[in-house]
Amino acid sequence: MLWEQARPFTVADIEVLSLSPEDLLFHLCFHTAYMNTLFGIRFLNDINNTIHCYQNKIDWELLFERATQWKAVNPVYIALYLAKDWLAAEVPEKVLARFKPDDFNLEVLANAKEMLTVDINHALLSYNLAALWIPKKPFREKLSIFLKHTFPGHDEIADIYHIPANSLRVYYYYLVRLGYLLIRYPAKVWRHNGDYLKQLFRVI
């Protein structure tokens, strides 16, 4: 669907296809909302540059239609809001009002900002574990997520703690890791990130 409105342009005398401004912006907004770490900050900058480049050529209503089709109005709103708030992206106020859901929880924006500025390892882990709070996710899948990120494979533990993968100390460091997670990533952080994900994944 994204390539249906692709536009030709020339690079080094070679004609190629590029996403339309609306589809490019949708792609960037969608990934910004999900890549809520340092990569998310990079995408915010890309959003700002894209809006600045195309300026009055962007069909905002078409962008809204695309977001609605993909059930991604919330992620696009979050990304546009942050790009305008942090980087002064030229997003018209009426556009933000158009995208903002009537029952949108403003605390989600605060959580998103916090997640974009915390330590990257903290953000990645807490984001993954926050998936435990996604509505209607099967218990077996939640358990799999918890075990995967709490008790990774021997090689990963060995890499994290700089020990041989075949060492018996690997089992000791599983306990160390569990204690570290309980201290470093309290339930409050996971709950906040879970609220962010629930709002993000909510079907509009």
Kindly report the three-state secondary structure assignment for every residue of the chain: CCCCCCEEEEECCEEEEECCHHHHHHHHHHHHHHCCCHHHHHHHHHHHHHHHHHHHHCCHHHHHHHHHHCCCHHHHHHHHHHHHHHHCCCCCHHHHHHHCCCCCCCHHHHHHHHHHHCCHHHHHHHHHHHHHHCCCCCHHHHHHHHHHHHCCCHHHHHHHHCCCCCCCHHHHHHHHHHHHHHHHCCHHHHHHHHHHHHHHHCCC
Predicted pLDDT at 136: 59
Residue % of the chain over a pLDDT of 90: 20
Q: Is the pLDDT of residue 186 over 60?
A: no
Question: Which range has the worst mean pLDDT, 4-8, 66-70, 82-86?
Answer: 4-8
Predicted pLDDT at 31: 80
Predicted pLDDT at 131: 52
Predicted pLDDT at 55: 84
Read off the pLDDT of residues 109-143 as tens digits, 9 standing for 90 and up.
776 776 666 544 444 444 454 454 455 567 677 67
pLDDT band at 8 (very low <50, low <70, confident <90, very high): confident
